[in-house]
């Protein structure tokens, strides 16, 4: 019984430290260790940048929606520029393009 208690008191901590000293670097350098961590960090940064861009686009679209709800001139601008529409009272002249 004395040998077991001596082992638990002295040998077990040394054994645990030895396993940790060998195992920790091995786990960090394996494919699931530091290389995977770096790849995930890079992917996270890319996704966060994409998320910021999309958030800005959503903000711009909300501003445009509010303009379209409140300002008839904004609706007219979209109709003219985006849909090539004109008023009934306007005449359209089409000129041939130069070759």
Residue 51 near residue 57 (C-beta atoms within 8 A): no
Domain count, the chain: 1
Q: Is the pLDDT of residue 62 over 70?
A: yes
- pLDDT at residue 75 above 80? yes
- Which domain range does residue 28 map to? 20-83
Which pLDDT does position 74 carry in this prediction? 84
Per residue in 19-44, pLDDT tens? 777 777 776 676 777 788 889 999 99
Q: What is the dihedral of CA 15, 18, 23, 24, to 10 degrees?
A: 120
In this structure, is residue 1 part of a structural domain?
A: no
Kindly tell me if the per-residue pLDDT of 97 is higher than 60. yes
Cα dihedral across residues 81, 82, 84, 86: positive or negative: negative
The answer to whether residue 52 scores a pLDDT higher than 60 is yes
Say if 4 falls within a structural domain. Answer: no
Structure tokens at 93: 């002249």
The overall average pLDDT reported for the chain is 84
Residue 18 has which token pair?
Answer: 């030895």
């Amino acid at each position: 019984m004395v040998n077991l208690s001596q082992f638990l008191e002295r040998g077990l901590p040394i054994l645990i430290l030895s396993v940790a000293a060998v195992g920790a670097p091995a786990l960090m350098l394996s494919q699931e260790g530091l290389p995977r961590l770096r790849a995930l960090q890079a992917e996270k940064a890319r996704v966060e940048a994409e998320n910021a861009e999309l958030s800005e686009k959503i903000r711009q679209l909300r501003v445009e929606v509010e303009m379209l709800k409140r300002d008839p001139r904004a609706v007219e601008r979209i109709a003219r520029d985006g849909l090539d529409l004109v008023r009934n009272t306007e005449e359209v002249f089409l000129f041939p393009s130069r070759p």
